[in-house]
Structures are given as C-alpha cells and as structure tokens.
C-alpha cells in the first residue's frame, strides 16, 4: 500500500481485488464494439462512464489513449485497460460516498447527527417509510 499526499488531501493507493478486476474486464468486453480486441477512443469514453459514472474530458481521454496504446494498435488492449482503470479505481477514496451522504443528513454542519436530523432526511428521501424503520436504522 502506498500513501501519497497532495496538498491537504490524503489518499491511500491500494491493489484492486478480483471482483474489481472482473468488473473492469467485463466493461472492456462490453465496450469492445466489433470484438476488435482493443478499445477505440469512443469505446474508452463509454467504458469510463460505465466504471466511474462520468464522461472523461478530452484531455483525460488523450492521456488514457497515450498511456494505453502500444505500437501497431489503434486503441487500448485489455491488459493496458485493466492496468489504467485499476490505478484509477485504487486511487478513489472509498469513503467519499459515505461522506457525501453524511453531509446531506448533517444540515446543521455539526459533524454528528441527531435523531431529528435523521428523521428529517428520511422524510425527504423516503416519505412513506415507517418511522419504526427509521428509528431502527438510526441505532
């Protein structure tokens, strides 16, 4: 495991696990239009959307194509794709989504949640949920 810091942010790079590798390989297979054995520029953009939920910018796509392409191939081969996406995936903060959800619940920016905050949030996102279920989730 490698620890790297950039300014004030803190990130731990890790190895991808087998499930993540299989997901990356599956996305490659789905995006390899025409079963050419590589991903074209357009295929690669779609693959990034499928894996990370956003369309890469032109400059990010250029970098991925430069780092992923090898001589005699007009695109990114499977192993290069797994390597590139694995590095990108391992650099993601695994707690970011949890922080975003917590921040959405913490409307008073206290750094902790009271039962009323929890009830209010659930009322907005799941108004038909029984209060008993909300109380059980808060425990």
109 and 47 together in one domain: no
Domain housing 99? 95-138
How far, in Å, CA of 124 to CA of 55, rounded? 29
How much is the pLDDT for 68? 85
| Token code pair at residue 49 | 């959307």
Residue 35 per-residue DSSP state:
S
How far, in Å, CA of 45 to CA of 69, rounded? 14
How far, in Å, CA of 58 to CA of 100, rounded? 27
58 and 119 together in one domain: no
86 and 108 together in one domain: no
DSSP 3-state assignment of 76?
A: strand
> For position 85, which CATH number holds?
1.10.238.10
58 and 75 together in one domain: yes
How far, in Å, CA of 5 to CA of 131, rounded? 43
48 and 60 together in one domain: yes
pLDDT below 50 — which residues of the chain? Answer: 1-11
Q: Structural domain tally of the chain?
A: 2
**Which backbone phi and psi does 117 adopt, to 5 degrees?**
-60, -45
How much is the pLDDT for 126? 84
In this structure, is residue 112 part of a structural domain? yes
How much is the pLDDT for 10? 47
How much is the pLDDT for 104? 80
How much is the pLDDT for 105? 81
How much is the pLDDT for 6? 45
């Amino acid at each position: 495991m490698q620890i790297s810091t950039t300014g004030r942010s803190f990130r731990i790079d890790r190895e991808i696990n087998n499930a993540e590798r299989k997901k990356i390989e599956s996305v490659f297979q789905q995006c390899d239009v025409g079963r050419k054995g590589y991903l074209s520029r357009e295929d690669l953009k779609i693959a990034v959307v499928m894996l990370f939920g956003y369309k890469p910018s032109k400059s990010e796509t250029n970098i991925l194509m430069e780092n992923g392409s090898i001589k005699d191939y007009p695109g990114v081969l499977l192993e290069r794709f797994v390597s590139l996406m694995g590095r990108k995936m391992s650099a993601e903060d695994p707690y970011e989504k949890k922080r975003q959800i917590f921040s959405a619940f913490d409307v008073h920016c206290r750094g902790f949640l009271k039962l009323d905050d929890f009830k209010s949030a659930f009322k907005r996102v799941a108004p038909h949920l029984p209060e008993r279920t909300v109380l059980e989730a808060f425990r």
